[in-house]
Structure 1
Amino acid sequence: MAKVKKLTKGQQRRIKANHDKKLQGGKDKVQWDDGDLGAPEQGVIISRFGQHADVENNSGEIFRCNLRRSIASLVCGDKVQWRLGKQTQHSITGIIEAVHERDTVLSRPDVYDGIKPIAANISQILIVSSVLPAFNSDIIDRYLVAAEQTGITPVIVLNKTDLLDSISTDEQAAIKKQLQIYQDIGYQVLYASCISLDGIEKLKLQLAEHTSIFVGQSGVGKSTLVNALMPELGLLTKEVSENSGLGQHTTTVARLYHFIEGGDLIDSPGIREFGLWHLTPEQVCHGFIEFSDYIGLCKFRDCKHQTDLGCALIAAGENEKISPDRLASFQRILASLNDNTLTSRFNN
């Protein structure tokens, strides 16, 4: 893939100005005077639709609202102050006036918009992998780095376990070995099948009392898992392409749902390209939490952790104090950052 040139500061300013202009263009087409609005209320953003958003009040009722011009960013999961209009205007029933400070925010880098928030006030990220498409630990590692940057607890889920018998014993052993590495590091690993329903009840327990979001490459069965967990929703799903072996995106708009057993789920189209190219090598390194005992012990302060003489991480990998596979994955991520390309992105 060809290198992408960095934007100049002037280009960045023009892009931001155009972006802000588009955002502001339709926000207040429905005009509200204070006399037309009720008392301020608290709510949570259930979904965002262009220049409007659906707000859920404390009674569980949902209202479609406009946004004040002063609101620079609004995503699913945000807690807001809003006011209900005394009359509905063009299907808009109220206005969002302020966004409360976020406990956490999941963001992604965007070539044109910088760091773009995806969802707010999440307490755990479920990184979904599967037997088909083929299990890929590099993708999991990248999501773990992103999760560690947010401070949101990651949980790894191996989906489609009913397909394990359809792959070779060597492939099964490789998956088991890799998942054991994550468990040894301290990450929680869950197993699920929407066909046999194995692990679904345990997954429900994990989701209770949390606001969660599922991430993972296309085709791993995120929407199918949501269907199994919330059959009343009937979300659309698509099978993995027989030609490419890749998944097909199904969710189109981020939406917050409530589990009957407790807890919330933000089902999001997520990010087709959830990159790490905005991170520094140091941030990536800290995303591999088992490397912490070796950071700063390299012979040279500017060690690149590739083929450098006296690299503490390479020595730890050779002595199997850290996983050689994880070290190799880390080195591949660093290489993609150093190349200054978009190859550090990966499909969601």
Structure 2
Amino acid sequence: MPRRSPLKPRAESSADGDRHPGLIIRHHGRGALVETPAGNRLECTARKRIRDLACGDRIEWSPAGDGQGVIEQVLPRRSVLTRPDHRGRPRALAANIDQLLIVLAPEPEPTAALIDRYLIAAELMPARAALVLNKSDRLTPANRTDIDRMLDEFSALEIPVVRVNTREANALTPLTGLLSTHTSILVGQSGVGKSSLVNALLPEHELRVGELSEASGQGRHTTSDTTLYHLPGGGDLIDSPGVRDFHLWHLDKTELAQGFREFADYAQQCRFHNCRHLNEPGCAVQAAVDAGDISARRLESYRKLYAQLEAAEGRLGDY
């Protein structure tokens, strides 16, 4: 069965004659494994002027002989998920994502503060966000109440929440329903079971990994690779080990409030148009918290993140 491609069927050439459309399904250094609309795959190297490739990028490439290609252009992105490099500079991790699936589990203990950071990233990309409670069969009387309370807080923000596990028949159905019409990426702490979810969603995962490695000529697929897979039930899934933890050091603190969706309507009612929702008089966001319309924990989380971003300004070069 030919591989499905999310690119619209079209002739594999452009007005330039020797340029062809493609999708990056794996990125490594200056090289990338590119998929054509027909489902063929070839290894391509980017032109020197192209400095920021990501898995999920739509590109144009030209033939370079021996089944190889050269990436000539990266087409405009609908969205991009970034992470800081070793110097603290933002680098693209995955592009054209429209859904961020935040995976958590009873163990390690989920933290609302980390979920807040992922939700901020989703709001600003922009992309839809959903919470996936994996290993739901391991909930116990000791942890169920706290986890349910935390999930209820996010459900109140109209963020979808699904509970799944890989042990029971049909237990992944809620997740496959979320995935079928989106290009998604799984994010979350180490140990929450992202790899087990990928293996369950892609029954022939190891075979697919081998096929990709053979197609790229790069040898064995490594844990540092970010790879896009076409799901058998529809939708695409980007698997990346680079999102085990998540920080917002590259974010301008003036953008932070935009990542808290429940602030939007109230912020327009603040006394000062540039209210930071810290301790300013006439802050409508604080008034909404006092009235019970906004979570006090979420406002405190925002203020802590604001202070961290403010402290980090001017020091990014030290990372």
State TM-score, norm by structure 2.
Answer: 0.81
1:126, distance to aligned residue in structure 2 (A): 0.7
Q: Which of 292, 304, 312 lines up with 1:332 in the alignment?
A: 304
Q: 2 CA distance for matches of 1:114 and 1:191?
A: 35
Q: Quick one: distance in 1 between partners of 2:223 and 2:257?
A: 32
What is residue 25 of structure 1 aligned with on the other side?
Answer: none
1:133-172 superposed matches below 5 A: 133-165=108-140, 167-168=141-142, 171-172=143-144
Match of 1:226 among 198, 207, 218: 198
User: Which of residues 80, 87, 103 is equivalent to 1:112?
Assistant: 87
Change (3 A) 1:85 1:199: same
* Number of the residue aligned with 2:230: 258
Aligned to 1:83: 62
- What's the CA shift for 1:67? 1.6
Kindly indicate whether the alpha-carbon contact (under 8 Å) linking 2:46 and 2:71 is maintained by their aligned counterparts in 1.
yes
Residue 48 of structure 1 corresponds to 27
Contact 1:223 1:251 in 2 (8 A): no
1:315 and 2:290 are equivalent in the alignment: no
Quick one: distance in 1 between partners of 2:298 and 2:312? 22
Letter in 2 for 1:119: A
Q: What is the aligned length?
A: 284
Identity among equivalent positions (%) equals 42
Equivalent residue letter for 1:40: R
Query: Post-superposition shift, 1:52?
Result: 1.3
Q: Is the 8 A contact 2:100 2:186 kept in 1?
A: yes
Q: Deviations over 1:223-266 (max 9, x none)?
A: 1111111121149xxxxxxxxxxxxxx94210011111111111
Q: Please tell me the residue identity of whatever aligns with 1:320.
A: G
- Give distance in 1, aligned partners of 2:293 and 2:235: 38
Q: CA RMSD in A?
A: 2.4
**Structure 1 counterpart of 2:77:** 102
Distance in 1 between residues matched to 2:32 and 2:291, nearest whole Å = 54
Q: CA deviation at 1:75?
A: 0.9
Aligned mates of 2:244, 2:26 — CA distance in 1: 19
* 1:312 Cα deviation after fit: 2.7
Distance 1:138 1:341, change over 3 A: farther
Is the contact between residue 192 and residue 198 of structure 1 (CA under 8 Å) also seen in structure 2? no
User: 1:190–1:199: 8 Å Cα contact kept in structure 2?
Assistant: no
How many angstroms apart in 2 are the aligned matches of 1:163 and 1:234?
Answer: 27
Instruction: Specify whether residues 122 and 303 from structure 1 end up closer, same or farther in structure 2 by C-alpha distance, changes over 3 A only.
Output: closer
Name the CA shift for 1:113/1:181 in 2 (closer, same or farther; >3 Å): closer
Paired position in structure 2 for 1:305: 277
CA distance in 2, matches of 1:198, 1:133: 24
Q: CA deviation digits over 1:193-230, x for unaligned, max 9?
A: 11225541221121112111111121111111111111
Q: CA deviation at 1:325?
A: 2.1
Deviations 1:124-179 (A, max 9, x none): 111111111102111111100111111111111111101102x51xx312211221
Identify unmatched segments of 5+ residues in structure 2: 1-16, 208-221, 315-319
Instruction: State the distance in 1 between where 2:202 and 2:275 align.
Output: 49
Q: Distance in 2 between matches of 1:155 and 1:77?
A: 20
User: Do structure 1's residue 62 and structure 2's residue 41 form an aligned pair?
Assistant: yes
Q: Which has the larger radius of gyration?
A: 1
The runs of 4+ residues in structure 1 deviating greater than 6 Å are none
Q: TM-score when scaled to structure 1?
A: 0.74
- The separation in 1 between residues aligned to 2:310 and 2:180, in whole angstroms, is 41
Question: Unaligned 5+ residue runs, structure 1?
Answer: 1-37, 236-249, 343-348
Change (3 A) 1:341 1:222: farther
Paired AA for residue 312 in structure 1:
A
- Per-residue deviation, 1:307: 4.6
Q: Does the 8 Å CA contact 1:298/1:312 hold for their aligned counterparts?
A: yes
Q: Do residues 209 (structure 1) and 181 (structure 2) align?
A: yes
Q: Distance in 2 between matches of 1:111 and 1:156?
A: 29
